[in-house]
Structure 1
Amino acid sequence: MALCGAGQALRGLAMAIESLLAEISRAHFPHPPATPERIATFEARMGWRLDEDLRAFFLHCDGAELFERLPEANYSILSLAGIEEATLRLRRRDHSDGEDACWYPLVDCQDSDFVLVDVARPGGPYPLLDAYHETYPREVRRVAGSFREFLERALASDDQFFWLEE
């Protein structure tokens, strides 16, 4: 019985990410999906694997803007190529070699502000962190326990940075 309940819980999570992705397609600005081969290349190059929520997102759309198109978008979820490019920019700026070496930019909030994904715990779900350009890398703040939670809260935010209201 416990396994059956666990399976139902997992299906509920999968349905939740699928409904969030459907909302992005319906009312926001998704990019074309990444191929499984592109995801495998990204993971090999970066040295970490996408968790289930991120994999579902990138198979659905390889990046997206929420609420507004660029350059006005507060929430620009980077493509896989965008993560690679932004990672190089941040690494040159902060010389990451400690704890922050496991932090990768995932959402560009404009003005050099990013939401980072923390991949320190293999397999995920990966928490997301606010990286305000004035205090990064000295200070970061957890804004969501998973990408699914981040999407849920971002989509309900009316285009506001939900973690700034807390």
Structure 2
Amino acid sequence: MTATLKSLILRARAEHDCSPGASPDEIASAESRLGHHFPEELRELLSECNGIRFWTTGNFPCRLLPVGEIRPVHLLLETEEGPPGTVALVESQGDFVAMGLDREGPGYAQLIDCSHETFPHELLRVCGSIPDFLALVLDSQDDEWIWPAARVSGVDFAE
């Protein structure tokens, strides 16, 4: 685990509600259910925190989903459209930040804004790594972080 990821996880634990880590079997079961392997940074985060509730009493609450709740975004948004390898990792007020798990897809290992208003026609990159995601949430100080980050990146993975 990189020093940056480790320090961000320690910060998340100190400032927010982190569940105990998932076991290797729980992570493997989720990967099998989804038909994709998680990138190493995601495995490391989930093995340390199997779900995190951020800003629970704030204006922009969100949560890292535990492995048992990670699903393709199109299923959570109840649509048949959308890339099946794009799985929800973060829930925020009925919208999701997902990660592309299809190694052949353009959004592999990227965190992607999946709004119920625009999915799957607009899939904007929020950030490119788990440490970047944690830093965005933790540094947001309960301000909106998903849409501003997606607007700055300007990268759209919609097909």
**TM-score of the aligned structures, taking structure 2 as reference length:** 0.81
User: Aligned letter for 2:144?
Assistant: F
User: Are 2:62 and 1:79 equivalent residues in the alignment?
Assistant: no
Structure 1 CA distance for aligned equivalents of residues 142 and 5 of structure 2: 19
More helix by share: 1
**In structure 2, what is the equivalent of residue 7 of structure 1?**
none
User: Are 2:38 and 1:56 equivalent residues in the alignment?
Assistant: no
Identity %: 31
Structure 2 CA distance for aligned equivalents of residues 117 and 109 of structure 1: 15
The CA RMSD measured in Å over matched residues stands at 2.4
- Residue by residue, what CA displacement relative to the aligned partner does 1:51-96 show, whole Å, maximum 9, x if unpaired? 1111111111111011326x97622110111113866333xx2214
Larger radius of gyration: 1
User: Are 2:89 and 1:106 equivalent residues in the alignment?
Assistant: yes
**1:76·1:109 contact (CA, 8 Å) conserved in 2?**
yes
**2:73·2:86 contact (CA, 8 Å) conserved in 1?**
no
* 1:37 aligned residue (3, 10, 25): 25
Q: Which runs of 5+ in 1 are unaligned?
A: 1-12
* 1:88 aligned residue (62, 69, 75): 75
User: Aligned letter for 2:44?
Assistant: A
More strand by share: 2
Q: Which runs of 5+ in 2 are unaligned?
A: 153-159
**1:127·1:142 contact (CA, 8 Å) conserved in 2?**
yes
User: Aligned letter for 1:161?
Assistant: E
| Shift in Å, 1:126 | 0.7
* 2:109 aligned residue (121, 126, 132): 126
